[in-house]
A and B are shown apart, each in its own frame.
Chain A
């Protein structure tokens, strides 16, 4: 679940690892927006070169990024095929009912593929180089303005960080209970759907019971350590905006300029 929710953080000391998470979060999001400015080979090549530069700077092997694409490959291929079959314009290679394959369609297909890969690489870069807790802290500061309209941003961020910290614990718990029920003769993942759903009940109930108890213990422990709401709390972890973060922002501004200049 760890992997599914947020990717996997890889410890490192690279330039990218040390960027401020607020900046990283914002720029990753911004990148997704400007990918949509791309509409020709030049712009895609420029973006791809950028992403490859970041991957290089992160000191993380390309394999981890490619792994990030794999779970989404069917979705990507489906979208690419839609593009190929349903785009019009340019020379027609093949035609059948509503389906047409044109050179423009093929090019669009490749572009869509590139767009997906670029976006996935960039978000994978974020999760590979930023710990979940940094992401949660970054989100908290980015969403701070929302406290003005009474959104409990601090509380939500704290709950998110606690939930993240408990992900491995709950996963362990799941494995433990699955093993215990297997030992009592449950076969997970065998038989028809109804049987499979039924086999999950002996897993689900103990999990709820245990997280119920955990939550109770944890709330008591937090209260005993003086937690009484987000008000008046200070923060131990520091987010420091350094020169590199400003440089990254400037780079992205320049990139936007170049994209606008290069696109048709």
Chain B
């Protein structure tokens, strides 16, 4: 029978897993430098490479300015360096050169933990960021790290779960949750910490359509109603279209910085940039192929529907 083997290996694997986390947590990133700036995030001439042996920089002379209260979408195909950029902002990786300022404070070894309090991050894989034994335990994890008093924790956990509409699941274990629900818990964990900036690192890419739409509308609510500065790293056209500004990353460099509607006009080029082509744009392309002229400016779905129905129904 193979079952005992599997058990044995799994136990082995579990020890290996625990050991691995311990090692990773002991290796901490190091920084030095300081000064102050205006925007909520300012990045100057940032360079990074994962390994000294790499000839190419994984982030190459990145300059980026993020305004307070803004929703910035960062797009780029897989492996373009966009997630690396997000990790750099939170001090999760150590840059080779360049400077990062968050809320007027320079990212250094001393300021690192203070800066992390201002930034919440939601990652891609719903399973690999769920630390707690149950939902409320997971939301509380960040609060425990900050040494918040228990009474205060209970209030904040409850509030945060209400915002993401998971209050009925407080005692649920992660196995009993869908991917979308786990991501909502991750967002609650961020909300409970009351940061100024929230970074979503492909947080919707592993979800089903329903979960995806729920997370996107939560991000929207957080940005529009609750004033969080949002950076969303994404391939999702719906997510990107809600942003105030879109930055394109390719090959570790920032290749473009534009309003969503400007960017969306690029049509099929977008696929190479790691984004879907917006539907109205695709339809325009097919119409043009059939000899129908369409307005040259970008139209979202609503205006495209209006334009088409007007053109068809007016005669």
Do chains A and B make direct contact within the complex (CB under 8 angstroms)?
yes
How far is the CB of B55 from the nearest CB of chain A, in Å?
24
Rounded to whole angstroms, the CA-CA distance of A229 and B121 in the bound complex is 19
Interface of A is mostly: helix
Rounded to whole angstroms, the CA-CA distance of A197 and B147 in the bound complex is 48
Max count, chain A CB within 10 A of own CB: residue among B6, B17, B121, B134: B17
Total A-B residue pairs with C-beta atoms closer than 8 Å? 162
Rounded to whole angstroms, the CA-CA distance of A47 and B131 in the bound complex is 40
Q: Does B25 sit within 8 A of A, measured CB to CB? A: yes
Q: Does B113 sit within 8 A of A, measured CB to CB? A: yes
Q: Does A72 sit within 8 A of B, measured CB to CB? A: no
The segment from B60-68, B96-104, B149-157, B275-283 found at the interface with A is B149-157
Interface string of B68-85 (1 = CB under 8 A from A): 000000000000000000
B21 & A162 in contact (Cβ 8 Å cutoff): yes
Q: Does A247 sit within 8 A of B, measured CB to CB? A: no
B129 & A217 in contact (Cβ 8 Å cutoff): yes
Max count, chain B CB within 10 A of own CB: residue among A164, A170, A197: A170
Max count, chain A CB within 10 A of own CB: residue among B21, B131, B143: B21
Interface string of B208-240 (1 = CB under 8 A from A): 000000000000000000000000000000000
CB within 8 Å for A235 and B92 given contacts A196-B5, A222-B25: no
Range, interface on chain B: 35 or more
Interface string of A171-189 (1 = CB under 8 A from B): 1001000100000000011
How far is the CB of B167 from the nearest CB of chain A, in Å?
16
Interface string of B106-140 (1 = CB under 8 A from A): 00000001001101110101011111111011001
Find the A residue at minimum CB distance from B10: A1
Find the B residue at minimum CB distance from A190: B2
Interface of B is mostly: helix
Q: Which residues of B contact A159 (CB under 8 A)?
A: 18, 21-22
Q: Which residues of B contact A131 (CB under 8 A)?
A: 133
Q: Which residues of B contact A249 (CB under 8 A)?
A: none
B133 & A165 in contact (Cβ 8 Å cutoff): yes
Residues of B within 8 A of A (CB): 1-3, 5-7, 9-11, 13-14, 16-18, 20-22, 24-25, 28, 87, 90, 92, 113, 116-117, 119-121, 123, 125, 127-134, 136-137, 140-150, 153-154, 157, 173-175, 189, 193
Which 10 pairs across A and B sit closest by C-beta, in order of nearness? A219-B24, A236-B140, A217-B128, A189-B2, A215-B20, A133-B133, A221-B129, A226-B145, A225-B142, A188-B2
25 A/B residue pairs, CB under 8 Å, sorted by A:
A131-B133, A133-B133, A155-B22, A160-B18, A162-B18, A165-B174, A169-B174, A174-B6, A188-B2, A189-B1, A197-B5, A207-B10, A211-B17, A213-B128, A216-B24, A217-B123, A218-B129, A218-B131, A220-B92, A224-B92, A226-B116, A226-B142, A226-B145, A235-B144, A236-B144
